[in-house]
Chains A and B, each alone.
Chain A
Amino acid sequence: MITERPMPLPDDATTEFWQACQKHELRMQRCASCKEFRWPPRPMCGACQSFDSEWIQVSGRGTIYSYVIAHAPMLPAFAPRAPFPIILVALDEDPAMRMIGNLIGDMREGLQIGAKVTVAFEEVGEVTLPQWKIVGA
């Protein structure tokens, strides 16, 4: 088993997402032709088949749509944190655009479906991950 935390392998559709995270910006891919969001990022728009896209900075605000508390056994990199929450955030801009993440510091205060969250970037080595903080916690 790998000992380090698994990190993304960006591709031609996702590189801009991860580059924006490094600048602490949450940018989502949107079709340049019909303006439908594409999440997760992909080459072609399923609505109009355009290959053109633009990267829109979103507010970074959302709502916890669901969550789990992960217990052992798990990858060694996560084991010291167990049990820890994994959350699913519905973004304010499009509630069907949901992102998997964690709560900074694995704070569980206020953790419930419907809780408001804001994005908070976490540096892990050379990668910046979009994570979340519960508003008011």
Chain B
Amino acid sequence: MRKSVAIVGIGQSEFKKNIGKNERRIALEAIKNALTDAGISPHEVDGLVRFNMENLSEVEVARNLGIENLRFFGEIGYGGGGACATVAHAQMAIETDRANVVVCWRARNRGSGVRPWAATGNRVPGDDQFSAPFGCVRPVDQIAMLTRRYMHEFGATWQHLGKVAVTIRDNATRNPQAMMQKPMTLADYEAARYVSEPLRLFDCCLESDGALAVVVVSAERARDLRNKPAYVLAASQGTGPDHVVMTNYYKKNFLETPSKYAAEELYRQAGVTAKDIDCAQFYDAFTPLVLFSLEEYGFCKPGEAPAFVDEGRIGPKGDLPVNTSGSSLSEAYVHGMNLIVEGVRQIRGTSTSQVKDAELSLVTSGAGVPTSAMILAGNPS
């Protein structure tokens, strides 16, 4: 149901390469900060939604918060594809009277911890048995494969990828919480080393330690709280056909990602189109995902994203300012949970790259994996 729930609290830890505290500690800090921000007592929390990659359990959160009883708890798979889905599930729980106050969080010490691909085993099961023996284990290789084909089909160049990275870095320099504060030019971008051609270092997200949390309640409750509510106008999930996680190469339409399906569902629920969106936080583990998302979320046609970027339309003065906190590329990479928090800030009017009178704020989660997305709204009616 449209605007039946709202995000009323946001909280986070610092973002650092090595934060010097464990994931449990920073998760609890972020959750506590979010509840303080909402003005809701931890004792009122009766629902939790976690990522299934999260190391901290619901019961451990509940014990630390002093939650009497969890009426609702659940978890979302597929890493960065799941961020918006945590809120989507909270929405369903509240709508069906299975919970009153739901906290969704993600804590990840990925900066000081190990790279998941470095934990590849000697014998690889499942779909990855057809990729790992050939050295295709890193997300950067898996996304670079899509990128090369995209560039081939649509004439995109390294400059288009670079402009995405430069635009998002520029946003980060205005956000004191962002890890990357140093301005970057297109020449700086080009001068950096390749990680997996055609992708260079600054096409890749940061390796961060950090945690974020959001508090979701009914729209009715939200109206009595201290912050301007960010109403959930729509929230969706999607996979598309014949999906294989990360090496999603085996379906008929190679360049199509789950985002296309999440987008269709999102706009169907919302009753709006891309033209109505004021700003977007696109999941940006890698720069090309922003190009793919511009197209699949309907801001331009397939193959037109490079021109969209060339025309400066994703910048702070463009018609679709994107990734206004610096996002995964330049703020912190926390599986896209920071994109949700920034989407809320845009509704509240508190972003460091604030879009004037932002009414509809789009947030998307990982492309290349089963994904999710949502539209936040400022107007309650």
A residues adjacent to B (C-beta < 8 A): 1-2, 4-11, 14, 39-40, 46, 65-71, 74-75, 78, 81, 83-84, 86, 88, 96-102, 113, 124, 127, 129, 131
- Contact residues in B for A65 (Cβ distance below 8 Å): 149, 254
* B124-A8 in contact (CB<8A): yes
- Contact residues in A for B126 (Cβ distance below 8 Å): 11
With A8-B129, A9-B129, A71-B195 given, is the CB distance from A101 to B145 under 8 Å? no
* B197-A69 in contact (CB<8A): yes
Q: Does B182 have its Cβ within 8 Å of any Cβ on chain A? A: no
Tell me the bound Cα distance from A88 to B195 in angstroms. 18
**Most chain-A CB neighbours within 10 Å: which of B120, B124, B127, B134?**
B134
- Contact residues in B for A100 (Cβ distance below 8 Å): 130-131, 134, 136, 145, 247, 249
**Most chain-B CB neighbours within 10 Å: which of A74, A84, A127?**
A74
* A2-B131 in contact (CB<8A): no
Q: Which one of B138, B149, B194, B247 lies within 8 Å of A69 (CB-CB)?
A: B194
B residues adjacent to A (C-beta < 8 A): 117-127, 129-138, 141, 144-146, 148-149, 152, 193-199, 242, 244, 247, 249-252, 254
- Contact residues in A for B130 (Cβ distance below 8 Å): 8, 40, 99-100
Tell me the bound Cα distance from A78 to B137 in angstroms. 11
- Contact residues in B for A4 (Cβ distance below 8 Å): 122
* B197-A68 in contact (CB<8A): yes
Give the shortest distance, in Å, between B251 (CB) and chain A (any CB).
7
* B125-A86 in contact (CB<8A): no
* A6-B196 in contact (CB<8A): no
With A8-B130, A40-B130, A78-B135 given, is the CB distance from A2 to B120 under 8 Å? yes
* B152-A66 in contact (CB<8A): yes
With A6-B137, A86-B141, A100-B136 given, is the CB distance from A66 to B127 under 8 Å? no
- Contact residues in A for B247 (Cβ distance below 8 Å): 100
